[in-house]
Amino acid sequence: MAMALPLAYASSVVHPFEAGRLSFSTKATKHKKQIYQFRKVTKVLAYYGLTNPPYKLDALEPYMSRRTLELHWGNIHRGYVDSLNKQLANSPLYGCTMEELIKTTFNNGNPLPEYNNAAEVWNHDFFWESMQPNGGRLPWGGVLDQIEKDFGSFSNFRDEFVHSAMMLFGSGWVWLVLKTNERRLSIVRTSNALCPLVWGDIPIISLDMWEHAYYLDYKDDVSKYVNNFMDHLISWHSATARMVRTEAFVNLGEPKIPVA
């Protein structure tokens, strides 16, 4: 059951209790006894749902094909969600928000078996929302100011991001994060399922560098994939919304108020 949820940090917890009520509401009376029993006996298990990307699967053509999204979201991302739910069915870790689950299962660097699935579910949600049709080009306003402050210029940031992506060996992700301790934007490269949330940093934009993200469209031409992402896919709208939210948690300094 896929549900469209608000941006970024909302948890994807759906109680089957609720789902049950919605689907049984039109059934005949003789089923009500079953429902009563269902309500009384069933232990409430929180599970996670697969969220839809905020655009159609062919909306990112020609930079990311429909087939890639069908596989990447429909099979791979969905696979992680299913695996996670299966693991959590027999685990005391249910009932958390996604972020709590990631931090708990990361276990300070000694990850529990659920970590990979949990983190990849979150990472992919975040990734779909980091892109948009007609994306790319330049950010504006506060985000642009912060980038210029922390990287010198937008083109420095862009070069560094592309370079970081090209330097990644194996599977992983490249992130634009706001480092909470240093209170500045930074580019971070992580392997496999590692997510900057585990260090308390706040991701702003991510790029999936696992081969399954680009192999069908670009094969081994990684540079073209990353450049297309920067020029045509990256969603500065999402980045702006996330930065705004971040400012509730991290003091980025006094705003520049023009003197009259």
Position 109 contacts other proteins (CB under 8 A):
no
Among 75, 91, 107, 156, binds other proteins (CB under 8 A): 75
CB of 70 to other proteins, least distance (A): 9
Report if residue 80 touches other proteins, rule: CB under 8 A.
Answer: no
Q: Least distance to other proteins from the beta carbon of 112, Å? A: 13
Q: With helix as H, strand as E and coil as C, how does 27-79 read?
A: CCHHHHHHHHHHHHHCCCCCEECCCCCCCCCCCCCCCCCHHHHHHHHHHHHHH
Phi, psi of 186 (to 5 degrees): -155, 160
Distance CA 135, CA 228 (A): 10
Which pairs count as long-range contacts for 64-68, CB under 8 Å and 24+ apart, including other chains?
64/131, 64/214, 64/217, 64/233, 65/216, 65/217, 67/216, 68/213, 68/214, 68/216, 68/217
* Distance (Å, whole) CA 214 – CA 69: 10
Among 5, 35, 76, 241, binds other proteins (CB under 8 A): 76
Q: What stretch of H or E contains 236? A: helix 236-246
Segment contacting other proteins by CB under 8 A, of 43-51, 125-133, 188-196, 200-208: 188-196
- Cα angle value 87/91/92 (rounded, 5°): 145
Q: Is 124 annotated as a binding residue?
A: yes
> Which one of 54-62, 122-130, 142-150, 205-213 is the stretch in contact with other proteins (CB under 8 A)?
205-213
Per-residue binding letters, 215-244, with other proteins (x by CB under 8 A): xx--xx------------------------
93 touching other proteins, by CB under 8 A: no
The verdict on 42 binding other proteins (CB under 8 A) reads no
Is residue 193 a contact point for other proteins (CB under 8 A)? yes
Which listed residue (1, 29, 92, 169) binds other proteins by CB under 8 A?
Answer: 169
Does residue number 28 form part of the binding site for other proteins (CB under 8 A)? no
Contact 81, 48 (CB under 8 A): yes
Binding site for other proteins (CB under 8 A): 71, 75-76, 79, 116, 169-172, 191-193, 210-212, 215-216, 219-220
